[in-house]
Structure 1
Amino acid sequence: MGAPSRGEGQLPQGNGAAEGTLDPVDEQLVRLLMRDGRAGYVELGARVDLSGDAARERLKRLIADDVIKVVGSVSPATVGLESFALVGITVSGPALPVARALADLPAADLVVQTTGMFDIIAELVCRDDRELLRVLDETVRTVPGVAKCLVMQYLSVEKYAMEGSQQLLVGGGHPGDPAHASAWEDVDDSDRALISVLQQDGRASFKQLAEHSGVPYASARRRVLRLLERGVVRIVTITNQLLFGQRVQAGVGMRVQGPIPDVVRRLADLDEVEIVAATTGPYDLLLEVNCASRADLYRLTGTVLRGIEGVVSTETFSYIDIHKLPYTWTAL
């Protein structure tokens, strides 16, 4: 999902959620939110035999621990975002302080510590290529400890099917999709101000939406309901699969020989492959994969992907700590 975050940029230590000990009530609450991200606390509590206040406290903890994030998802075109890149970062010295600093950058949509050829990967979401270049030069490369950046700009996103989202964060179509153009053609500055708040907190109350956007309460309520009804904004619950579900996630850089669409069609049929993006840089395709275990990841990357005709080579970088969940429309 730039990415205004809660200002934390890290997973707190020493609490149950961060240690992967979500209890059955936590898990049930997360699943309920995945169905309806704006469900009321009283309604949620009643479904799990808790009071509304108790449900609120549990959700506050899950959000603070980066187990989940409830966001307003829109097509990038709606808010004028056109330039996306994944940056593979090599650091000198400890990686954790660098990851935390990158997570605080507004343009960073996802920040993950990894194993493999990169110490950290960060997704940058910008309005255009000029802004992307400025962010790289003036912010990312100036973070103390950043030694090397490998920039892989997205040319197109060929598949997006996140396990933790229940629906496409891209708002049901790719940027510029004419089938969805009519949904946001009359979105004005007030709508965009409200969308900006929802992107940070999909559960923001109408009062909070009005206060943070500067739009009067009655107008804010009417506009938000209209945006939701028309599908311009979708409230989506993103889960940190390293904590919720105990999954194994990784990025895969893939080099292809021959027509790329032929390989993409094969990748689209693999359930473990959640994202496929065509990029500039050293890889023809970037993938994000989600597996049940390290053994399944090894089978996928060592046998299945390399067995696809046209795939020349793959490089895998496993996720070991997610410092910032995405807020826009993709998670690679």
Structure 2
Amino acid sequence: MDADTLDPLDRQLLHALHLDGRAPFATIANVLGVSDRTVGRRVARLRATGAARVTAVVDNRATGSADWLVRLRVMPSGAGALARALAGRPDTSWVTVLSSGTEIVCLVRAPAGAPAPLETLTRHPHIRDAYAHRVLRHLMNRRWAGRTSALSDDQAAALQAPLSDNAAPIALNDLDRRLLPALAADGRAGYPHLARSVGWSESAVRRRLEDLRRSGAVRFDVEADPALFGFSTQCLLWLTVAPPRLAVVAQAVAGDTETAFVGAITGAANLLVIAVCRDETALYAYLSDRIGALRGVERVETAPITAYAKRVVPALP
């Protein structure tokens, strides 16, 4: 499936699933003015072609875990194999291969207070250097605008899942440790299937998931390649920002339509941005006209993304 085959209804469905990945098909159908069967058939096609996958995302504030951004300098001949190996780890997310073919960047979730997880990540023979940066704070409270602009404000409001801005630490139990990985693999799995998978009653699974969502510990998102929306260029931007301007610059960048992620990190560069643009010309314009004009930005390192080996956020540390 490519951008030419992603029609307006597909875009509306993806927007709806971004708002609530577990929204019943009947609810989505009612808001969009189509039949339940049409919604079910379209979502099944999007999933079968790999265009979209709903997954559970666990808030690390709730689980008491920490995110580390790891940069690995690698030998070009081993980049592909290493990216696949990292993608197979349960603690990694958005494993990316950069355009040079000599660097892989991934996000690793670890228990809070634990050291940077470099020891287990650097055993591969093709790794030359490794750097770990703690993600101090996620600074973007919305999703990339390119994939969430197909619904009207009224439609979006009717589909928006209840949100919590105060995710409090919770004690994970045995049910969570079975349930959350299953939901990370398939965020739309039905309660009977989940109950069979985890060995608990359907009512217990339903109640626990409702509690997790209400507390803000778990939300549901849909993975979709920006290329499906006609955006072919993705780039990591490592910004070095004067500390007094860090919050202002982060807020400004987080509001840009080109931005998919903003995070404050440790290291020489203190702000990481993932920019999504239609092409290289649009990326150049964004860098020169927007980023270059922000007061306080002292240095910018750009790293175009060649491919994603993994996009899903780990369910548990």
Q: 2:140 aligns with which of 128, 144, 159?
A: 159
- Measured in 2, the distance between the counterparts of 1:56 and 1:306 equals 40
Counterparts of 2:281 and 2:124, CA distance in 1: 36
Following superposition of structure 1 onto structure 2, how do residues 1-332 of structure 1 map, counting pairs within 5 Å? 17=1, 22-24=5-7, 26-27=10-11, 29-39=13-23, 47=34, 54-55=41-42, 57-62=44-49, 65=50, 67-81=51-65, 83-94=66-77, 95-115=79-99, 119-130=103-114, 132-133=115-116, 135-138=117-120, 140-163=121-144, 172-173=164-165, 179-181=166-168, 185=170, 188-191=173-176, 193-228=178-213, 231-259=216-244, 260-327=246-313
2:153 alignment counterpart:
none
Q: Normalised by the size of structure 1, how large is the TM-score?
A: 0.75
| Cα distance change on mapping 1:180 and 1:154 into 2, 3 Å | closer
Q: 2:313 aligns to what SS in structure 1? A: coil
2:6 and 2:228 in contact (8 A); partners too: no
What SS does the aligned partner of 1:324 have?
coil
The change in CA–CA distance for 1:128 and 1:35 in structure 2 (over 3 A counts) is closer
> 1:220 & 1:153 partners in 2: Cα distance?
33
In 2, Cα distance between the equivalents of 1:273 and 1:31? Answer: 17
Q: Residue deviations 1:36-60, cap 9 Å, x none?
A: 4224568879937966874464143
SS in structure 2 opposite 1:159? coil
The gaps in structure 1 that reach 5 residues or longer are 1-16, 174-178
CA distance in 2, matches of 1:204, 1:53: 13
The alpha carbon displacement at 1:268 in A equals: 3.6
- Between the two proteins, what is the percent identity of the paired residues? 25
Q: In structure 1, how many angstroms separate the alpha carbons of the residues matched to 2:107 and 2:301?
A: 18
Distance 1:287 1:172, change over 3 A: farther
Give the CA deviation at 1:239. 1.8
Contact 1:279/1:285, CA 8 A, preserved across alignment: yes
The answer (yes or no) to whether the contact 1:160–1:275 under 8 Å persists in 2 is no
User: In 1, distance between residues paired with 2:273 and 2:226?
Assistant: 16
Offset at residue 231 of structure 1 (A): 4.7
In the TM superposition, residue 267 of structure 1 has moved relative to its aligned partner by: 2.6
Distance between the aligned counterparts of 2:14 and 2:138, measured in 1? 27
Alignment length, in residue pairs? 297
Distance in structure 2 (CA, Å) of the matches to 1:263 and 1:31:
27
Contact 1:41 1:56 in 2 (8 A): no
Superposition CA RMSD, Å: 3.4
Tell me the CA shift for residue 236 of structure 1.
Answer: 1.9
Q: Which amino acid aligns with 2:73?
A: T
Taking the aligned partners of 2:135 and 2:216, their CA distance within structure 1 comes to 25
Deviation at 1:211, TM superposition (A): 2.5
- Seen in structure 2, the aligned counterparts of structure 1 residues 271 and 193 have a Cα distance that, compared at 3 Å, is same
What are structure 2's unaligned runs of at least 5 residues? Answer: 149-155
Look up the equivalent residue of 1:99 and give its one-letter code.
A
CA, structure 1 residues 290+301, in 2 after alignment: closer, same or farther (shift >3 Å)?
same
C-alpha deviation, 1:237, in angstroms = 1.6
Deviation digits for residues 44-84 of structure 1 (CA, Å, limit 9, x no counterpart)? 7993796687446414313xx3x322122332132332x21
